[in-house]
Chains A and B, each alone.
Chain A
Amino acid sequence: MRKLLLTITAVAILSTLSIAQNRTLPSVDVKTLNGGSMNITAIENDGNPIVISFWATWCKPCKKELNTIAEVYEDWQDETGVKLIALSIDDTRTMTKVAPYVNASDWDYEVYLDPNGDLKRAMGVSTVPHTFLLNSKKEIVWQHKGYVDGDENELLEQIEKIAK
């Protein structure tokens, strides 16, 4: 029985790999900082690239990444039209701190909340930070786990590749 299952799983994975089609966003609801609800597939950037960065207020490398990009975000936007979405996985312990932290940090990102990890699971995010890059059709074309100083340059290169 177990062998059969493994075979089926393997077939499933292989068939996906062989077709290698582009990956789209799953249809999952996230919360807005205004207390509203929104389906993540509804994000828009007029056909320009979108970056989705999963983070949390308790995650040092996440904040480092987003603070570093914040310094050059205006330049990035001018050059490539990119929009960054900071997707917080803070649960209800730290969720209330997200808006004050974001505001105090002077970030210009769009911020959404995923307090029980629904989107995180649907997108296969096991640790933060985890960054996805979406092209004009909102297909995921690149992703990166973790952040060390300098990683923002690789992200910018990838954005430039797909920017109009």
Chain B
Amino acid sequence: MIKKISLTLTIACLTIICFAQENSGEFHGDFDLNMQSYQEDKLIEAEPVDEIILNNAYLNINYTQGNFAAGLRYESYLNALLDFDDDYKGNGIPFRYATYTIDGLEVTAGNYYEQIGSGLIFRSYENKGLGIDNAMDGVRLKYIPVKGIYLKTFIGKNRTYFTYSDGIIRGADAEVNLNESLNFESKTKIIVGQGFVSRFQADNNPKFKLPQNIAAYSSRLNIINGGWNYSGEYAIKLNDPIGSLTAEGNNYANGNALMSSLAYSQRGFGIIAEMHRVDHMEFRSERAQEKQYIINYIPTLTKQHTYTLLALYPCATQSEGEFGTQVDVFYKIKKGSVLGGKYGTKISFNFSNIRSLEKGVKYDTNKNEIEEISSSFKNDYTDFTPKFFSKNGELFFNDINLEIYKKINKKMKATGILARQSYNKDVLEGKTPGTYGTVNSTIAIADVSYKIKEGHTVRVELQELLADGGDGSWSMGLVEYTISPHWFFAVQDMYNWGNHDVEKQLHYVNINCGFLKGANRIAIGYGKKRAGIFCVGGVCKEVPSANGFSLTISSSF
């Protein structure tokens, strides 16, 4: 810790010295504060907290001067909000870095975020909303020897809360833009890339001889021609026994993942078809099977919904095995046509289907069947590889939705959405098979905004979710009044009228208001939050129910 602080101090001092001498450097940054009070509410099972108020805050400071940059992030969890892991505790400067670029070479020491290709074999990133920050601490080099050739290599340890994991992560990536590097003009653009990552962790297991170095590599291809765009990536992770190390549980199988997408678009129209197949691709910075150690990212192949009831049952990638397909269509009906009206009409359609790979059987030491598995598995007793295509795989998630947006006149805009979703609650929430089954829901949404006078707008959202399983049916209403450019006020109510337990047919009312000016935003709220799954970018966390006041401040300088 002392070492860390002294390094930070050195960076801070150096930057100030530079600043004083040249007087041409710049300091910038941003600040975020999230405070929440917790009151007991037995009906929604909201627990009180001893501290009454919990608070998370972050301050980023970046210094840049020409080709040099340095910065740090101060984080404060006193104590961490309930929906954060309580390993985020106290104050500290877990992020600090210095970097410079000269003649195409970029050198970074300290903390950095990095990604190879789509992230199938490596992605270090941060998402404060989800409490994810797997920043690296080490050294990274990026080099552009000639235009069109991009090389990078890095080594480091992976952040887990305020410490670093045991494993040492090494990686390299090369990307070649054939058109740029060979300097030829063509309608067709081709970009190829090759990435490699390896993790070292000493084998301290007395019982098994575990591989100490685990490699993963991926190849990618992107071809663009006019409105067409194909992109594909294939990744392999070599044998990596993780989690509970037992004779039956050890899995020495290689993992692999394939993703492929084809898009076409022209003015007013776009279509994209995607598939992915993921088999035993969980990749961690340590063998221990705990959530925070994940160092790769497998994008979820479903639409990222933002309306509350559409996102009530969100999908998350099952990195141990799934087969997914997705199609999106965007279309703008022209102005002046019968359906387009005076301003045109925008339509978007989305379909996605995610299922397990075809199942096999896992055996124990006596060759007895112990369970069904749906990803590659290899040890002394079981050697199973799922088929490439999954016709009979178990359904994880299915979503079909249609959205229409129309500007009706100068004052009024409306969005309507219809959706049908299936959500395998047992699998997606990691419950024992057969506990909840699949929740099938039908969802309708209307969102209308009306301009009362210059700068004053009222917006109304009505949402309805009809379902038998899960918590049953929900209704939601929201009224928002905004006065541009400074104020917003909103009241919303989520009502679980269809809950099978009559006592849980509750209203979740929230009131929010905020003030925005330039680079500052301050919002306060009061109300009840429902316990549930909160996801961003396919990564999800369970959020407990809560009741109380909230204060958020966001500022940038």
B485 touches A101 (CB 8 A): no
* A13-B27, A116-B125 known; A148 vs B485 contact (CB < 8 Å): yes
B457, closest chain A residue (CB): A149
Kindly state the separation between the CA atoms of A97 and B264 in the bound complex, as whole angstroms.
Answer: 10
Partner of A92, one of B119, B328, B488: B119
A15 touches B19 (CB 8 A): yes
Kindly state the separation between the CA atoms of A143 and B554 in the bound complex, as whole angstroms.
Answer: 13
**Which residues of A in the span 74-119 have a Cβ within 8 Å of any Cβ on B?**
91-94, 96-97, 99-106, 115-118
Kindly state the separation between the CA atoms of A36 and B179 in the bound complex, as whole angstroms.
Answer: 10
A126 touches B113 (CB 8 A): no
* A36-B177, A105-B332 known; A12 vs B189 contact (CB < 8 Å): no
Q: Which residues of B contact A21 (CB under 8 A)?
A: 26
B27, closest chain A residue (CB): A16
**Is there a chain A Cβ closer than 8 Å to B249's Cβ?**
no
Partner of A121, one of B60, B115, B300, B488: B60
**Is there a chain A Cβ closer than 8 Å to B272's Cβ?**
yes
A35 touches B331 (CB 8 A): no
A32 to chain B: closest CB distance in Å? Answer: 10
A150 touches B227 (CB 8 A): no
Kindly state the separation between the CA atoms of A116 and B62 in the bound complex, as whole angstroms.
Answer: 18
B519 touches A143 (CB 8 A): yes
A124 touches B5 (CB 8 A): no
**Is there a chain A Cβ closer than 8 Å to B244's Cβ?**
no
B304 touches A58 (CB 8 A): yes
Kindly state the separation between the CA atoms of A93 and B482 in the bound complex, as whole angstroms.
Answer: 31
Kindly state the separation between the CA atoms of A20 and B396 in the bound complex, as whole angstroms.
Answer: 54
B132 to chain A: closest CB distance in Å? Answer: 12
* A12-B27, A124-B557, A150-B484 known; A96 vs B123 contact (CB < 8 Å): no
A22, closest chain B residue (CB): B26
> Which of A11, A15, A71, A92 has the most B CB atoms < 10 Å from its CB?
A92
B485 touches A124 (CB 8 A): no
A65 to chain B: closest CB distance in Å? Answer: 11
**Is there a chain A Cβ closer than 8 Å to B261's Cβ?**
yes
Kindly state the separation between the CA atoms of A12 and B470 in the bound complex, as whole angstroms.
Answer: 53
B304 touches A126 (CB 8 A): no
**Is there a chain A Cβ closer than 8 Å to B12's Cβ?**
yes
A19 touches B23 (CB 8 A): yes
**Is there a chain A Cβ closer than 8 Å to B139's Cβ?**
no
A122 to chain B: closest CB distance in Å? Answer: 6
* A99-B265, A104-B269 known; A124 vs B60 contact (CB < 8 Å): yes
A124 touches B261 (CB 8 A): no
**Is there a chain B Cβ closer than 8 Å to A45's Cβ?**
no
> Which of B268, B346, B451, B485 has the most A CB atoms < 10 Å from its CB?
B485
B482 touches A150 (CB 8 A): yes
**Is there a chain A Cβ closer than 8 Å to B8's Cβ?**
yes
* A1-B2, A124-B556, A145-B520 known; A150 vs B189 contact (CB < 8 Å): no
* A101-B330, A126-B128 known; A106 vs B267 contact (CB < 8 Å): yes
**Is there a chain B Cβ closer than 8 Å to A60's Cβ?**
yes
- Interface readout for B438-466 with A: 1 if CB under 8 Å, 0 if not? 00000000000101001111010000000
**Is there a chain A Cβ closer than 8 Å to B13's Cβ?**
yes
* A35-B222, A149-B451, A154-B485 known; A96 vs B263 contact (CB < 8 Å): yes
Q: Which residues of A contact B26 (CB under 8 A)?
A: 16, 21, 23-24
Closest 9 CB pairs of A and B: A100-B270, A150-B484, A104-B330, A124-B30, A93-B299, A148-B482, A103-B265, A149-B457, A104-B270
Q: Footprint of B on A, CB under 8 Å?
A: 1-2, 4-5, 8-9, 11-13, 15-16, 19, 21, 23-24, 26-27, 34-37, 57-60, 67, 71, 91-94, 96-97, 99-106, 115-118, 121-127, 130, 142-146, 148-151, 153-154
Other than the known A12-B16, A116-B123, what 20 A-B pairs have Cβ atoms closer than 8 Å? A5-B12, A12-B19, A23-B28, A24-B26, A35-B191, A35-B222, A93-B300, A94-B537, A99-B229, A105-B346, A106-B267, A117-B126, A124-B29, A126-B556, A145-B516, A148-B488, A149-B482, A150-B451, A150-B457, A153-B484
